[in-house]
Amino acid sequence: MATIRLASDRSLLISFGEAVPALACRQAARLTRSLEGVRGILNLHPAYASVLVEFDPRVRSHAEIEALVRAECGVGAGHARPLAGETACPTKERLVEIPVRYGGECGPDLEDVARHAGLPPERVVELHASASYLVCFLGFSPGFPYLDGLPPELATPRLPSPRKRVPAGSVAIGGSQAGVYPMDSPGGWRIIGRTPLALFDAQASPPALLAMGDRVRFVPIPEEAR
Amino acid sequence: MNRIRALSTGFQTTVQDLGRPGYAHLGVSACGAADALALRAGNLLVGNAENAPALEMTLVGGDFEFEADATIALTGSDFGAGLPLWRAVEIKAGAVVRCGPTRAGARCCLAVRGGVGVPKTLGSASTHVLTGLGGRPLRAGDVLPVGEAAIRKPRLEAVRPPESIRNPVLRVTSGPQAEWFSGELYQAAYVVREESNRMGLRLRGPAIPSPPGHMLTEGAPLGAVQIPPDGQPIILFVEHQTTGGYPKPANVVSADFWRLGQLRPRDEVSFELVSLERALILLREQEEWLYTLV
């Protein structure tokens, strides 16, 4: 069941129930896909359990966008009906493998994460690389994936004060979330490794390596290959 | 082909257009001109499509030399160029448009007939300063080609400028977490802090108590007023993060976005809550003014 709220004079926030995070995140992804390319819609901001729909108020009214959203996800019916395309064409999850150099210069916070978890660093790497992650959404900065599925033992609070520069490709843990920094940027998450993959390339089509709903696995790059 | 040579660039000069909407789901904010009203007006005055790339100067302007005859318009704040604002002006080959410190708000737009002909990234020439998407701020010595975005005759006679740039009241509509707050935002004036930039305008004033509610990261629009744990409001601006986890009691109305681009450090602002209907009327009035320029 979704709720629709006014966010601004050019946007509505559609929120899904947070009880089942993986479900809410899929609902957000589906609504985003179904509204892509609709006339007058400028931007769609999906998140864990919501989608912000930004539109041109000279072209579309709030009531029109609200009706469109209600039609797409059956808001108010007490039970979200499947969105267009969901039953007709079940999309296969894409699995993306991300190679990672863990620890050392590439992962300056691996030791801290290990200490916090009370585990040896090798076990942290093993756990991080054995999990399957869901790309909930891309946000924060271009191509940054918010990943669900971090083994709970590895949850580590953010740095007390963010770093001014986190290198592109840094594989990170922020609380119970996992992510990868696509470009050099400031950041407060714990850095445990680095991938040589480019997660965002404005010249590529699509520009982001990952998309909502993808599955991600991290694959350690062996020492001898470095 | 005409070219513009930056002899100096002042505090910060960037190429801007109306931004790159359509990529927020990839984490890319729309970006674009800080004062989009000045940019659109400047383009309309010189006879361009309204979203043609132009130069946007911040606080202190630069000196720009034109290789050939050109038609330009200066809009936004008066940066002391000694040319009339809010009208198209014809200048001769070799002329230098010399801008200095602002005499009013934070930004001055220099539009040129034909537009600034730089390559586009994800459909826009807009410079996202923080990520480098779309290029970097100009440096002295940069040479920019003039493009081919002119679509009609320039408007060489004076027009009525928009209402005062120095209006300290920002109109807002309710934000998605408005019910978490009890109107504290409307009870005092706030001062724009020095750390403000194209990502966000950081304000200083009476702290607004953090509400106890649980907040999951969600999409955030341009002009959102966020209340972080320290209670000092941040207004999300053109280079804002696409998602955020702070509660938002209010959102600046579309008709006042350009005012955000004119706010300078140490300026004082206050907030006035208006209805959605009122916000849309304000926007319509602004659009009507804009199209008197064509």
Residues A207 and A143: beta-carbon distance below 8 Å: yes
Say which DSSP state B255 is in: G
Q: Backbone dihedral region of B134: left (phi > 0), alpha (psi from -120 to 50 degrees) or beta?
A: left
The minimum CA-CA distance between B133 and chain A, rounded to whole Å, is: 8
A212 vs B contacts (CB less than 8 Å): 25
Reported pTM:
0.93
The answer to whether A8 contacts B26, with C-beta atoms less than 8 Å apart, is: no
- Distance CA(B255)–CA(B77), nearest Å, equals 17
Decide the pairing of beta strands A11-16 and A177-180: unpaired
In the numeric block, which tokens belong to residue A131? 């999990």
Closest residue, chain A, to B239 (C-alpha): A141
- Distance CA(B30)–CA(B127), nearest Å, equals 11
B219 vs A contacts (CB less than 8 Å): 7, 13, 44-47, 50-52, 139
- Distance CA(B64)–CA(B62), nearest Å, equals 6
Task: Going from the first residue of chain A to its last (226 residues), give the mean pLDDT of each consecutive group of 10, the final group possibly shorter.
Answer: 93 89 87 94 96 97 96 59 43 89 97 97 98 94 94 93 92 95 92 97 94 96 76
- Confidence label for B160 from pLDDT (cuts 50, 70 and 90): confident
pLDDT at B245: 87
- Distance CA(B132)–CA(B63), nearest Å, equals 23
pLDDT at A22: 79
The answer, yes or no, to whether ipTM is higher than 0.90 is: yes
- Confidence label for B240 from pLDDT (cuts 50, 70 and 90): very high
Tens of pLDDT, residues B266-292: 999 999 999 999 999 999 999 999 989
Strand partners of residue A215:
A95, A134
Closest partner residue to B24 among A43, A143, A146, by Cβ? A43
The amino acid present at A20, given as its one-letter code, is: V
Residues B93 and B66: beta-carbon distance below 8 Å: yes
Which of B26, B32, B222, B238 has the alpha carbon at shortest distance from A44?
B26
- Distance CA(B143)–CA(B132), nearest Å, equals 18
For the cut 60, the answer to whether the pLDDT of residue B233 exceeds it is yes
The answer to whether A47 contacts B23, with C-beta atoms less than 8 Å apart, is: no
Order the strands of the B54-58 sheet from edge to edge: B12-16, B54-58, B107-112, B70-76, B88-91
- Distance CA(B265)–CA(B106), nearest Å, equals 9
- Distance CA(A216)–CA(A194), nearest Å, equals 15
The minimum CA-CA distance between B279 and chain A, rounded to whole Å, is: 7
- Distance CA(A85)–CA(B7), nearest Å, equals 56
pLDDT at A76: 46
Range B248-253 average pLDDT: 98
Q: For chain B, where are the alpha helices, taking DSSP H only? A: 36-46, 257-262, 276-290
Buried b (16+ CB within 10 A) or exposed e, B25-62: bbbbbbbbbbbbbbbbbbbbbbbbebbbbbbbbbbbbb
The answer to whether B25 contacts A62, with C-beta atoms less than 8 Å apart, is: no
pLDDT at B75: 97
Decide the pairing of beta strands B3-8 and B63-66: antiparallel
For the cut 50, the answer to whether the pLDDT of residue B214 exceeds it is yes
pLDDT at A61: 97
The answer to whether B122 contacts A207, with C-beta atoms less than 8 Å apart, is: yes
pLDDT at A79: 41
In this prediction, what percent of chain B has a pLDDT beyond 90?
Answer: 88
pLDDT at A75: 55
The answer to whether A185 contacts B25, with C-beta atoms less than 8 Å apart, is: no
pLDDT at B294: 84
In the numeric block, which tokens belong to residue B195? 């750390």
Residues written for chain A:
226
The amino acid present at A219, given as its one-letter code, is: V
The answer to whether B25 contacts A49, with C-beta atoms less than 8 Å apart, is: no
Using CA atoms, how far residue A164 sits from A180, A199, B239, in Å, is 16, 20, 18
Closest residue, chain A, to B130 (C-alpha): A185
The answer to whether A48 contacts B218, with C-beta atoms less than 8 Å apart, is: yes
Tens of pLDDT, residues A12-32: 999 998 777 778 888 999 999
A49 vs B contacts (CB less than 8 Å): 216, 218
Decide the pairing of beta strands A215-220 and B63-66: unpaired
